[in-house]
Structure 1
Amino acid sequence: MNTGKVTLVGAGPGDPELLTLKALKAIQSATLLLVDDLVSREVVAHAPSTARVVYVGKRGGCKSTPQAFIEKLMLMAAREGESVVRLKGGDPFIFGRGGEEVEHLRAAGVQVEVINGITSGLAAATALGVPLTHRDHAQGVIFITGHAQKGAEAPDWKALAATAHQARLTLVIYMGVSSAARIEQDLLGGLPADTPVAIVQRASLPDQRHAVTTLGALAATVENEGLASPSVIVVGDVVRGVAAAAEIPTGVRAA
């Protein structure tokens, strides 16, 4: 009998104070937490001492817990009557495989709830004081991954750049630092080389780092500054204010 419940909880970008009240209540009522690799220990600390905590890390380029195994764990625990919290970095439905997990659980007759979290793309921009939309600079924003699923085609960066340029859109690229050279080359097919870019590593955490540069120097900046995953790349005119506020020329590291 399916007497238990699974809640997919967005843990946000890392800062425990960015948890929603609803997320906090779900964590505090869990009997089993399945925790992603990028969830901070300060967030997990809100779980009751009686709860079982299982780390099921998933990070690009690293050894990861198989998705099928995670889904099996959730299903088994729910059928045993547990209150399962699947604690995911950022938001469960923004590049978090939340859709796959919900489909799998609902198909098995398990009750599922999703609690949104602040996605890292938004947190990264806000950490620099950058509005992803600004009526003087951007009419919209596109969230896109730089890491295509195995066997899938990479995004058409040239077409995306042309659209962003024409429609005045901010690009927020997740999981893109390892492909920075290719992304830079292709985006230059539709965006000017002096388009402002910010790269933010570990947004909202005490060890957050960032660099401000231009599209034409994106790959060189990532390499020179030693920026690595998890990082978010923000591309667009909304970034100009970061360099201006710091009174430094675009292309120089801000912090």
Structure 2
Amino acid sequence: VARVISLRSASGDFLPAARVLLEDTARNCRLLHTLLWASIDDSLSPVHSNRGLRRLVERGVMTEREHATLLASSAPPTRRHDVILSWILARAVDARARRVVQFGAGTESVFVSTLCELRRQCASVPEELVARMPMAYIHLVQLLVDFLLVSTPFALYPRLGLLSIPLSVILALFFRGLLELSKNFLDPFGNEGSGVQERQYIRTDTLLAEVNAASTRWWRGTERLPFDTLPYDDPMRCTA
């Protein structure tokens, strides 16, 4: 929202205060997703340690003041991303009060609704991980697939003869592959597997890379406009 309605100079460039708002919001978005996936993927759990949070400060993902505020919030590691989400909302409200951005009640309603939806989606990820099928059912499916693959050659040979040999191999590859894929969905982040990183089905580093790239992609596309705009050289003089 802020990237569309941030105040600009007469030449079409963002005003310094508006640019700071966009950069800080983008940085908070990167921090939000980093803390979210670090609370879900055990391979990233060291991020929530004191050393990990200090490293985020050193890398410029959050400021010293944000680091102190996050620790003072006493939020558990699994809910720290909610704190960052509240910062994004508070930053937008403060920017409107300072006349750094301008938007009406309709835009504000959409903005708040979008943040609430983002919070709901963030909360749904760990809920999906714990709402899994019983282990007994998984064991039963494993036995059924094994029995099917063992009995397939004997069932096909009377009618297909030697052709049953390659067909049995194809069926084995298909059913065993589908079974392994199903098991990966039970532990997509490799938290309960053998601990080998290669067995991780969802790579959180790829997700974070996509988020980091998208955090500044859109507003940088409108960083400069090919036409003159209504100047707001002094945002404090603008009318709401």
TM-score (norm: length of structure 2): 0.26
Greater RCO structure (CA 8 Å; 6+ sep): 2
Q: Which has the higher strand share?
A: 1
Task: Give the structure with higher Rg (CA).
Answer: 2
Q: Which has the higher helix share?
A: 2
TM-score (norm: length of structure 1): 0.25
